[in-house]
Structure 1
Amino acid sequence: MKNNKTMKIVLPIVIVLALVGMYFVKNKESLKTSSNVETNVNSTETANSDVEGDFSLDIESGLPKLEEYAKAGLPAIIDYGSDTCPPCRMMEPEYKSFHEKMVGKAFVKYVDIDENPDAAKEAPIQVIPTQIFYNADGTPFEPSKELREKYQLQMYNHKVTKKPMFTIHQGFLNEEQLLEIVKEMGVEE
C-alpha cells in the first residue's frame, strides 16, 4: 500500500523530468545548428586583405590567440557567451554582422563557454555575454573616459604591477555600439 502511494508521487515527477529533459535536448541541438554555422570568409575577401590570420568567428577550443592577433597588428574583440544564454542569442546577429565588417581590420572572435570552459577561466568573466577588447599591439584597450562611462567599460589592473590586464564590457552591445568602440581603437570602417 505504501509502495503504491510512492509510485503515484514518483511516477509523475519522473515523467515531467523526462519531458523537460527532452525539450532541452531538442532545443540545444537546434540552437547549436543555428549558432554554430561558421561565418565563412570567402577567398576574395582574404585575398584583398594584406593581413594574414584566422578571421573565422568561432574559437572552437583553447584560448584566444592574443600573440597571433598582436603579430598581425590588428585589435581583437572577443565575445564570451553561450548558446543557452538568451541575451547572447539576441546579440548573435549583431555580432556576426560586426564580424563581417571587421574582416581584415580586426579579429572578432566568439567563445562559447559551455563548449570551451577553459577559455573563460583565463578572463574575468562574471556574466555572459562579456566582451574583451585588445589593442593592435596586444595590450588591453584603454578607452576614453567618455566611452568608458557611456558603455560601462571596466578595466582590470594587475594587483602588483597595476598595469592594465583587461578591458571588458558585460552585457549586450549592438553593432553600432561595437563600431563606435573599435573606431576609438583606431579601426576605420
Structure 2
Amino acid sequence: MKRTMTWVLAVFMLTALAGGTAWAEADSTAEIPVPGMVTLVDLGAHKCIPCKMMAPILEELKKEYEGRAAVIFIDVWEHREAARRFGIRAIPTQIFYDKDGKEAFRHVGFLDKKSIVHVFRKLGVE
C-alpha cells in the first residue's frame, strides 16, 4: 500500500531579490507531492545565490501553471528536516513528481525556465 507523507510548513513570504519579487514557500496545508497534480519541489535557501536566481523563474511558473502543476519552494536551511526527507546533498535541487506522486526527475543546481517547461511537457503538462 502506497504511503503518502504529509508535510506541514509555515506560510512564509519573503522578498528574495531587489525589485520586490515575492518568494513563496509551501503553505501550511501543503501535501508534497500535490495529489493528482504534477509537482515541482525546489529545495534551496533564501541566501543561496543560484537559489535566488531561480526565485523569479519559480514565481513565473507558479502563476503560468496555476491549476495545472504545483510549484513549491522549501528553504532547507530553515526547514532542515526537509533536506533529510528529500535526500538533499546540494542546493538548489529540483524534484519533479508525476500526477501519481512518483518521483519522475531530479536535478541539482540552477535550472532555467526552458528546461523546467520541458520536464513539465514530458510529464503531460501543457
Flag whether TM exceeds 0.5 (same fold): yes
Tell me if the contact between 1:61 and 1:115 (Cα under 8 Å) persists in the aligned partners: no
Residue of structure 1 equivalent to 2:3: none
SS of 1:34's partner is strand
Instruction: Compare CA radii of gyration and give the structure with the larger one.
Output: 1
> What letter corresponds to residue 50 of structure 2 in structure 1?
P
SS of 1:109's partner is strand
Residue of structure 1 equivalent to 2:88: 125
**Which protein has the bigger helix share?**
1
Tell me if the contact between 1:81 and 1:128 (Cα under 8 Å) persists in the aligned partners: yes
Percent identity, please. 31
Determine the C-alpha separation between the residues in 1 that align with 2:58 and 2:14: 17
| Structure 1 residue ranges, 4+ long, deviating more than 6 angstroms after superposition | none
Greater RCO, CA 8 A, separation 6+: 2
Tell me if the contact between 1:129 and 1:172 (Cα under 8 Å) persists in the aligned partners: yes
Residue of structure 2 equivalent to 1:184: 122
With normalisation by structure 2, the TM-score equals: 0.77
Consecutive unaligned residues of structure 2, counting only runs of 5 or more, are 1-12
Shift of 1:177: 1.2
Q: CA RMSD in A?
A: 2.4
**Which protein has the bigger strand share?**
2
Q: Does 1:58 align with 2:39?
A: no
Tell me if the contact between 1:91 and 1:172 (Cα under 8 Å) persists in the aligned partners: yes
> What letter corresponds to residue 39 of structure 2 in structure 1?
A
> What letter corresponds to residue 32 of structure 2 in structure 1?
L
Residue of structure 2 equivalent to 1:173: 111
Shift of 1:35: 2.4
With normalisation by structure 1, the TM-score equals: 0.53
SS of 2:83's partner is helix
- The counterpart of 1:137, out of the listed 85, 97, 100, is 100
- The counterpart of 1:34, out of the listed 15, 36, 40, is 15
Residue of structure 1 equivalent to 2:78: 115
**Given the superposition, is the C-alpha separation of residues 137 and 34 from structure 1 closer, same or farther in structure 2, using an over 3 Å criterion?**
same
